[in-house]
Amino acid sequence: MKRDLKEILNAGLAAADPGAAVLRCLKVDGDRLSAGGETFEPERVFVVAAGKAACAMAKAAEELLGDRISGGLAVTKEGHEGPLEYLEVLAASHPEPDERGVEAARRVAGLAEELEEGDLLLALISGGASALLADPAEGIELSELKRLTSSLLRSGASIDEINCVRKHVSTLKGGGLARLAHPAQTLALLLSDVVGDDVSSIASGLTAPDPTTLEEARRVLERYGIEPPQSVAGHLKRAEETPKPGDPLFEQVKNLVCGGGRHAVEAAATRAEELGYPPLILSTRITGEGREVAGVHAAIVLEALESGNPAAPPCAILSGGELTITVRGKGRGGPNQEFALALAVELEGVEGWAALAVDTDGNDGPTGAAGGLVDGETAGAIRSRGADPRAALEANDSHTALDAAGVLLETGPTGTNVNDLRVILLRRAE
C-alpha cells in the first residue's frame, strides 16, 4: 500500500502542474490573447509571476508569448527558482518575509506604476505570494511585519483570517496591484491554494476586490489574542480601505483560477482506482486543526474496516483542503505531519490501512518535508526508537517523531502549490 500511495501522490502532483494549468487556460493567436472567454489585444504585455509556482507558470507564458513580452519579474521562494528568458527571477523568504521580499515588492510595484493605457499586465499568481511580496504599508517596518506574520501563523488562524490582516497592512495585497496597474488591463491567472478558490483570498487578492474590512482585520487580531506592533495598530485605525467589489478599476481586470486542489485530489482518485482501490472523496474543502481532522479520518477508517461504511475495503479515502496548527510546543513540524502523526496514534495496532498527508509544494510548515506516510505500525516504530508519539504531538514535534520512524515524505520543491492532499488506502487484513 505504501508503494501504491507514492504512485497516487505522483499522479496528484502531476495534475497540479502549474505550467500545464497556464497552457490550458491562456491562448495566443497572433496579437490576440484569450482566457476565460475574454479576448485582449494589448499594445504591450508585461508579466509579473509571484508565488512558489512562479517560475513554472512564467516558463509556460514565455512559451506562448515569446518576445511579445515587453518585460517582467518572477518572484519565488528560495530554492524554487528556474531559468527564464524574458523575465528576471527574484528569490525571497517564505513563510516569514525578508528584505529580499521587500525589494521584490518594490520592484513589482514600480513595474505596475509604469504601465499605461493599452498595456496588459499578465499576473501569474500562486500560493506563497503573500509572504514573498513583503510590502508593508507606509510606516510599518519589516521586523514588525515579520513579528505579526509569525504570530498569525502560530495562532491557529485560518488562511482567510491571516490574509484579511495581510491585506490591510500592505500596499500590493487586497487589490493593490491592480490599482497600481490601472488604467492598464490586468489578466490574472491564479493557481489556487485556497479552499473554495476565492480569488480575493488567493495570495491575499493581489488583483481582486477585497470584501474584508479594516474592522474585520482588527477583530482577527483580537480573536486570537495577538497584540500587534504599535505601527500596525495605528495603521489599522487610520488607513484607507482596500478597493471593494464594484470599484470601477476592476472593469479592467480579469481574474481566472487556472488550477487548484480539486485537480490534484481528482487525479489521485483516478490513479487509486487504476491500482484497485475504488475511491471515495470526502471533500476538497476540509479545514481545521491537523490533529482534530486526523481524529475524524481515524473514525471513518475504523468504521470502513468494521462495517464497510462509507466505503468497503479495498478502497481509497481522499480529502483536500488546508489544515492549521495552533503552536503550543517548541517542536518542529507542519499541519500535514501533525495530521499523519495523530492518525498513526489514533490507529496504532490497527491492520489494513496506510495513509499519506502532504503539502503539495513539497514543504510542510517550516520544514524540508512535504508530509508523512504512516500505517498501524508507525507509532510503535517511533517508540522503538526512544520517542513518545503522544508527547511529540503535545510538543508540536511531529517532524522529529516521523523522522525517527523513517516515514517522512520528502519530495523536494515540487514546482506547484495547491491545497493539502490526504489519501488513506484500506484493504481487508489477511
Which SS3 state, helix, strand or coil, does residue 114 take?
A: coil
pLDDT tens digits along 275-294: 999 999 999 999 999 999 99
Which residues lie below 8 Å from residue 401, measured CB to CB, with a gap of 6+? 341, 382, 387, 389, 392, 393
Determine the pLDDT at residue 419. Answer: 87
Q: Kindly list the distances between the CA atom of residue 319 and the CA atoms of 374, 378, 421, in Å, as whole numbers in the listed order.
A: 16, 21, 6
Does residue 187 or residue 80 have the better pLDDT?
A: 187
Average pLDDT over residues 34-52: 96
3-state helix, strand, coil in the chain (%, to 5): 40, 20, 35
Q: Cell numbers of 131, please?
A: 509572504
pLDDT average, residue stretch 15-19: 92
Q: What distances in angstroms separate CA 164 from CA 174, 191, 304, one per listed residue?
A: 8, 19, 39
Report the residue count for the chain: 430
pLDDT per position as a tens digit, 304-344: 999 999 999 999 999 999 999 988 899 999 999 999 999 99
Cis peptide before 243 (omega within 30 of 0): no
Residue pLDDT, tens place only, 365-419:
889 999 999 999 999 999 999 999 999 999 999 999 999 999 999 999 888 889 8
Q: Is the pLDDT of residue 428 over 90?
A: no
Average pLDDT of the chain, as a whole number: 95
Per-residue pLDDT of 83-106, as tens digits, reads: 999 999 999 998 888 999 999 999
Per-residue model confidence (pLDDT) at position 429:
65
For residue 255, list its beta bridge partners. Answer: 188
CB 62 within 8 A of CB 86: yes
Share above pLDDT 90 across residues of the chain, in percent, rounded to a whole number: 87
What is the mean pLDDT of the segment spanning 240-263? Answer: 94
**Could you tell me whether strands 44-50 and 69-77 are parallel, antiparallel, or unpaired per DSSP bridges?**
parallel
**Fold matches, 18-259 and 262-426:** no
Mean local confidence (pLDDT), 159-176: 92
* pLDDT at 353 exceeding the cut of 90: yes
pTM score, whole prediction: 0.83
- Helix H or strand E segment including 355: strand 353-358
Domain boundaries 262-426, CATH class: alpha beta
pLDDT at 430 exceeding the cut of 70: no
Q: Where are the domains of the chain?
A: 18-259, 262-426
The dihedral sign for the CA sequence 344, 350, 420, 267: positive
CB 359 within 8 A of CB 407: no
- What are the pLDDT digits (tens) for 129-161? 998 999 999 999 999 999 998 899 889 898 789
Options 3.40.50.10180, 3.40.50.720, 3.40.50.300, 3.40.50.920; CATH for 18-259 is: 3.40.50.10180
pLDDT at residue 52 in the model: 92
Give the integer Cα–Cα distance in Å for 11 and 7.
Answer: 6
240 burial type by CB count under 10 A (0-12 exposed, 13-18 middle, 19+ buried): exposed
Give the residue-averaged pLDDT of 232-252: 95
